[in-house]
Structure 1
Amino acid sequence: MKEIALQAGLGLATVDRVLNGREHVREHTRQRVQHAIKELEKQQFQLATSGRKLVVDVVVEAPRRFSDEIRDALESELPGLHPAVFRPRFLMHDTMTTADVVDALKSIGRRGSHGVLLKARDVPEVAGAVAQLQQRGVPVITIFTDIPLSARMAYAGLDNRMAGATAAYLIGQWLARRDGDVLITMSDERFRGEEEREISFREELRRRYPKLRLVDASGGHGLDVQTEERVRRAVGSGRKIVAVYSMGGGNVAILRALESIGQKPKCFIGHDLDRDNVELLHDGKLSAVLHHDLRQDMRTACHHVMHFHKLLPASAVGSSSSVVVITPTNIPQSVEQRFGRRTAQSGISGSTSLAS
């Protein structure tokens, strides 16, 4: 019961009331206890390991397909994070208002935590909540999108400016001609990581390929319905989309929207090897995915927390991941095994359709 109470961030008496089915317990509290039990079941190996116990809160605003990847990456790294025993508590939603994020961070500060891994928008209110955690002695590591002017301890994730420049170079090389409309999509411009990708992409494209024009369909939060609608409105009937750079996901929806208005881009660059993107690579609908090792980034984030608690010297904290260009021909075997290997013929036909 003590382990459940710690995981749920609740008092022992409250957990006792839930487990024994007593009255006067709110449904939200009951769900927190059940969620904590499920997390503890996943952490059974860790619980049997000796070492300094560190409870970390993972607060993420991202579509389910990406938040699942983050959770899996962190849980895969837990057994190797000696001499610490990490106990993650997850708060992940497709979308969160600024008030939602601030309230979550304040709640973490009140109940205590050894660290927070945070993926949130770069807005003053969130930066203020990060500062309050820092004052309470709770280190905050931003993951995958930074809040650089906050009191966060460190950033762990992709070099987003390098990613944007890489996407521009690839698109320019892929296209046989050097003019036309390039569709770009961000989930939300207040995610600093996507904003950095967009700025770098725009600058590199303007420098290398000035005849390529940008069409912006951002703001769909990476969610299918919103993204599809924004693409339809932005492209309309007067554009000829020759390439797509998707910085914030929702690629199935983007392709569906383009197909509905008779558009078929010659080149499509996306981010992250989630299930949807692996399928699109195999089907020849994505030209390339800019991938980064989520496990390495989560390991780096945890190392920063360990360094804060004097369990690891600064020299042992690893670096963040680099940009890796994935095509249908070099999808990592571990990803294929996880999502189910497709036939070799699928990969070949995908490559052929892109070349055509």
Structure 2
Amino acid sequence: MSGKVTLKDVAERAGVGPATVDRVINERGNVSQEISRKVLRAARELGLRRILPQRHHRMIRIEVVLARPELPLIARMRHEFQQLTTLLDPSITIHRTILRDERPETIAQALGRTGCDAVIVYMPDDPLTRQAVAALEARGIPVVTLISDVPQSARIAYAGPDHFQSGRSAGYFIARMSRRPGPVAVLCNTRGLQSHDDRIRGLEACLTAQDGFSIGAVVEGRDDRDRSESRLRQLFASNRDIVAVYNVGAGNLGVAAAIRADILPERPVFIGHELTRFSAALLREGIMSLTIDQCPELQARLAVNHILQHLDFADLGPDGPHYDTKPLQAVLYGPENIPETPEI
């Protein structure tokens, strides 16, 4: 827009009267939060040259809902949100709710109980969880999905990597690291998790273009170490041609135990997920070939940024704070590029 921007220009853009713009810009009060957001957004878009009132006078409470604290990824995510709390404006508080199980009804009940202004949640794609998110939307409470997306829900954003791309990457390296072509064993929690299903589909899409490679079987280990080991031992005994294992979820120690049993004539390529002290040790030992890490610290920041941007928490003009909401990229670690041993 050419020329000097006036309060009248802002009023026209926001669809309100100039007096309302004056009350918002000069913080005279008696204006609803929704109208204030419209006015401030219009002022930023037009480039009004004056200091705009910040939105962070308001306290914002964010609830993070995670399940199964015994899983390394969840432990890391819990730790990252705890660390992030110390870096945020004091008017932003993060409440962590850690559930013992990941059943849709358990998570849906936790969502229904929230008394916070926004929610960040790791949940399966299920009618119960989608209904719970819709109920929060109806109450004006924004929801961001974490780790695994539920794209058909009323969530405002997803804070996580492209899992289909991760699966394709796993397939690429399996085809090049395996001693010979052959079937690939896949271990997952359940295909009901969007992240796990996308990784499997990505792997399949990549292997389809590779001569001699295919998915031999998909084993649902429920992210349980003992169950994963037992199911893989059975699979190895019945299909001794397996050349690689791709674990799309937790249970890496169970995979390692099954491989160490040497049921297969040759130890397979093993690609898994998340850099923890356990996977770092397996990489150094040579049992694991690669691990694909989804960077929990960046996911935590991205999830909070989506919430703050949605709530217009602060002036996002060219000179104000910027909430980075770019999609995340996973990081691949092998034996030669492991950073300091993870604490989790």
The answer to whether the Cα contact below 8 Å between 1:215 and 1:234 also exists between their aligned partners in 2 is no
Is 1:73 the counterpart of 2:76 in the alignment? no
Mapping of residues 8-19 of structure 1, within 5 Å: none
Structure 1 residue runs of 5 or longer lacking an equivalent are: 1-49, 340-356
The answer to whether the Cα contact below 8 Å between 1:53 and 1:87 also exists between their aligned partners in 2 is no
- 2:96 alignment partner in structure 1: 89
The answer to whether the Cα contact below 8 Å between 2:291 and 2:333 also exists between their aligned partners in 1 is yes
The answer to whether the Cα contact below 8 Å between 1:217 and 1:234 also exists between their aligned partners in 2 is no
Is 1:338 the counterpart of 2:340 in the alignment? no
- 2:44 alignment partner in structure 1: none
Which residue identity is paired with 1:331? I
The answer to whether the Cα contact below 8 Å between 1:165 and 1:201 also exists between their aligned partners in 2 is yes
- 1:162 alignment partner in structure 2: 165
**Aligned to 1:155, what secondary structure does the other structure show?**
strand
Moved more, 81-90 or 294-303: 81-90
**Aligned to 1:60, what secondary structure does the other structure show?**
strand
Q: Within 2, Cα distance between the matches of 1:160 and 1:69?
A: 18
Among 297, 308, 314, the alignment partner of 1:306 is: 308
Structure 2 residue runs of 5 or longer lacking an equivalent are: 1-55
- 1:247 alignment partner in structure 2: 248
Among 77, 84, 101, the alignment partner of 2:107 is: 101
- 1:234 alignment partner in structure 2: 235
CA distance 1:289–1:188, shift in 2 (3 Å): same
The runs of 4+ residues in structure 1 deviating greater than 6 Å are none
Which residue identity is paired with 2:334? T
So what's the TM-score if we normalise by structure 2? 0.76
CA distance 1:80–1:52, shift in 2 (3 Å): farther
- 1:118 alignment partner in structure 2: 121
Name whichever structure is richer in helix by fraction: 1
**Identity across aligned pairs (percent)?**
26
Q: Within 2, Cα distance between the matches of 1:196 and 1:337?
A: 26
Mapping of residues 211-226 of structure 1, within 5 Å: 211-226=212-227
So what's the TM-score if we normalise by structure 1? 0.74
1:317 CA displacement: 3.2
Q: Which has the larger radius of gyration?
A: 2
Among 283, 286, 294, the alignment partner of 2:285 is: 283
Is 1:203 the counterpart of 2:201 in the alignment? no
The answer to whether the Cα contact below 8 Å between 2:276 and 2:343 also exists between their aligned partners in 1 is no
Q: Within 2, Cα distance between the matches of 1:337 and 1:145?
A: 22
- 2:329 alignment partner in structure 1: 322
Q: Within 1, Cα distance between the matches of 2:162 and 2:73?
A: 18
The answer to whether the Cα contact below 8 Å between 1:116 and 1:138 also exists between their aligned partners in 2 is yes
1:75 CA displacement: 1.6
Q: Let me know the Cα RMSD of the aligned residues.
A: 2.1
1:279 CA displacement: 1.4
